[in-house]
Structure 1
Amino acid sequence: MTKPSLRRMIPPSVPNGVDACMHGGFFSMNYQVFCPVKKCGMALGLLFALLVVAGCEGGKEEAAPAAQGLPEFQPAIGGPASRIETLKSRLFDEPENDMLLSALGDAYFEAKRFQEAIPVYEKAVAINPQNYDALNDLGLCYFYTRNEVAALEALDKAVAVNPDYKYAWLSKGFVLVSIGRFQDAEAPLRRAKELDPNGNIGAEAEKFLQKIEQHKATRPPAG
């Protein structure tokens, strides 16, 4: 089943008080979350998000474009709470099904219940270490719960499993930019752009790269 392009708004209070300007950077992260819509076989639901980036000196906010629709598995009922209960019921009979676990993690993610999503995604990748999509989602959940080190470790694992997974490269660049590591962010962002030169992922990566270049141009000379 293919669904239409989708982005889900996450209130700016998630995570509370996180602002890339705190790290000496030039971005003010008014989350929402970056996250393109996900794909992985038959069972990974949605990765929800929107990234709004503004200059620290009051630049114009720009919403990232909607991602392309991708195959997904999702119970055809209600909102996140209904899906959570349905997936829990299915997992009672199939507790080692990493795809169902990933879908449950997605439902928690949609509900902004990031702490609850983490152990679910962790179990999914413990069962199937090759589940690079769940690793990407796990990394983002770590980030939204203020564990940047674990976030980057999970994202590094995702791109190690699948070096062509553009979503994880963009996620890594997003995390690095948001913690002020602009130079380190350039390589993953360029890789995301290389993998999707004419698509939404490439366009989002290019926006970050342009902001990094603007930052370089406005920095005072060293020394």
Structure 2
Amino acid sequence: MPWLQPPSARRNLAGAMRKESLVFLMVPLLAAVGVLRAADETPAPEPSASEEPARLPFRGSPGGIRESAPQTEKVPVEIPPEAEPAVESLAVEAIGNDGIKAFEAGNFGAAREAYLRVLKVEPNNLPALVNLGSAEYRLGNMDEAERLLRRSLQIKPDNPTAWLNLGIIYLERKEPMRSLAAIAQAVVHSPNDPVARNYLGVAAGRNRWFDAAESELRRAIELKPDYADAHFNLAVFCLERDPPAVELARRHYQKAIELGSAPDPLIEKALKN
């Protein structure tokens, strides 16, 4: 069964941020830092008064389905009580694919039910555990999503998708150090993943390690030159410098717009000032 990655819709980050996604990178959760919100998700809660006021928005967008086997059209298959192992295996694959289709269609409840059916047959099915965690995340069940991802990591500690999704959850909870630690593990196990690098840059910035943040975002762009969110986020950090690197920020912001990123009035105001 294919793995889902951090939500594939683009998101905004908060911290010194506003609102948006983290997604996983298959559904993988995944997006940006701060407050994550996908286009089809309900808005995340506003930062509390004790937190630093939001300033410029960050963006992050998880990739689509990763580490996935080729998908073919399959009809849902019920699992007979006394099914032969081979039949069970085919049924699990078909149900898992149904879950992925439901997730991609935005029907996260149906996706959750499909992954739960898979886990009844194969309790340690890693893609199902990670994808179910992604579905729970999109349904707003953060504690359950975290539990499932941690369970998957007990089985396979070097799974970058699970680490990334876990880090996104911590970003949304505004736990910057935990998010940084989790996303760093994703990068350790998948160093050439531009999405993980983008998230690591945002997490570093959330911890106010701005040099490290810029370094990771530049690495994300090296790995994927047309990565709009990484260009956008780098523009934000350039404006956060003291003094701001306005021309460099303008260059990366314009590149992000050319690549399809939505214009942002806060960034444009900062560039004019």
Q: 1:188 to 1:32 in 2, by over 3 A?
A: same
Q: What corresponds to 1:166 in structure 2?
A: 194
- Partner Cα distance (1:209, 1:133) in 2: 23
Among candidates 239, 242, 245, match of residue 214 of structure 1:
239
Give the TM-score normalised by the residue count of structure 2: 0.58
Change (3 A) 1:195 1:131: same
Secondary structure of the equivalent of 1:180? coil
| Alpha-carbon spacing, 1:177–1:131, altered in 2? closer, same or farther (3 Å) | same
1:85 to 113, 116, 127: 113
Distance 1:157 1:74, change over 3 A: farther
Distance in 2, Cα, partners of 1:100 & 1:177: 32
| Aligned counterparts of 2:121 and 2:243: Cα–Cα separation in 1 | 58
Q: Displacement of 1:185 after TM fit?
A: 0.9
Q: Deviations over 1:64-91 (max 9, x none)?
A: 5977755665524472122212211211
Residues paired across the two proteins, number: 189
Instruction: Report what 2:152 is aligned to.
Output: 124
Q: Which residue of 2 aligns with 1:110?
A: 138
Give the letter aligned to residue 32 of structure 1: E
Q: Unpaired segments of 5 or more residues in structure 2?
A: 36-52, 69-96, 245-273
Aligned equivalents of 1:67 and 1:135: distance in 2? 13
1:8/1:116 Cα in 2 relative to 1: closer, same or farther (>3 Å)? farther
CA–CA distance in structure 1, aligned partners of residues 240 and 14 of structure 2 = 16
Aligned-residue sequence identity (percent) comes to 24
Unaligned runs of 5+ in 1: 13-17, 21-26, 39-43
Go from structure 1 to structure 2 and tell me whether the alpha carbon gap of 1:67 and 1:106 turns closer, same or farther (over 3 Å shift): closer
Rounded Cα–Cα distance in structure 2 between residues aligned with 1:65 and 1:178: 13
**Aligned residues of 1:7 and 1:50 also touching (Cα < 8 A):** no
State the partner residue of 1:139.
Answer: 167
**3-state DSSP class of the match of 1:146?**
coil
| Aligned counterpart, 1:32 | 20
* Superposed displacement of residue 213, structure 1: 2.0
Instruction: Return the alpha-carbon distance in structure 2 between the equivalents of residues 109 and 94 of structure 1.
Output: 21
Indicate the SS of the match to 2:171: helix
The residue identity in structure 2 corresponding to 1:107 is A
User: What amino acid sits opposite 2:240 in the alignment?
Assistant: H
**Aligned-residue CA RMSD in angstroms?**
3.4
Instruction: Give the deviation of 1:105 after TM superposition.
Output: 0.8
Q: TM-score, normalised by structure 1?
A: 0.69
User: How far apart are the structure 2 equivalents of 1:143 and 1:69?
Assistant: 20
Match of 1:45 in 2: 27
**2:220–2:230: 8 Å Cα contact kept in structure 1?**
yes
Which protein is bigger by CA-based radius of gyration? 2
Q: Hey, what does 1:98 align to over in structure 2?
A: 126
